Amino acid sequence: MDKFTTKVADIILSKKGYDIKILDLRGLTTIADYFVICSADSDVQVKSIADEIDDKLREEGIKCYHKEGYESLNWVLLDYFDVVVHVFRKEAREFYNLEKLWLDAPAESVEDNIKPLIDND
């Protein structure tokens, strides 16, 4: 995982995105070096995550080359040349199953390491 993908994953976590996977596509394709894939529970959350990624990176002078999916909000794609971010509604992610399509790519899961303030055990 590089600095850019780590930043994207942190932004996703800040908007409660989950099941974050980073696929290392280097050596497999020229499409991108990395895919960052995450899930969300609603179209509102998909939009919120995608907008937050775009806004935070734009603040640092990093512009999105191409955006797709804002019409239906089942799957929003943000293309940053070397890194392509996929924000899926859970059901759409299961249907398209990019992880299976890119099974040869090394994958890293990103977990939310924030512990709840109240322990229910």
- Give a yes or no: residue 121 inside a domain: no
- Give a yes or no: residue 80 inside a domain: yes
Range of the structural domain that residue 47 is part of: 3-109
- Give a yes or no: residue 103 inside a domain: yes
Dihedral angle of Cα 61, 83, 32, 80, to the nearest 10 degrees: -30
Q: Residue 63 sits in a domain of what CATH number?
A: 3.30.460.10
- Cα angle vertex 29, ends 58, 25, to 5°? 60
Query: How many structural domains compose the chain?
Result: 1
d(CA 50, CA 11): 9
- Give a yes or no: residue 95 inside a domain: yes
Average pLDDT of the segment spanning 57-73: 96
* Residue 29 tokens, joined: 């394709």
Q: Is the dihedral of CA 41, 91, 73, 21 positive or negative?
A: positive
Condensed to tens digits (0 to 9), the pLDDT of residues 80-100 reads 999 999 999 999 999 999 999
Tallying the residues shown for the chain, one arrives at 121
Helix (H) or strand (E) segment spanning residue 109: strand 107-110
- Give a yes or no: residue 88 inside a domain: yes
What pTM did the predictor assign? Answer: 0.90
- What radius of gyration do the chain's Cα atoms show? 14
Condensed to tens digits (0 to 9), the pLDDT of residues 27-44 reads 999 999 999 999 999 999
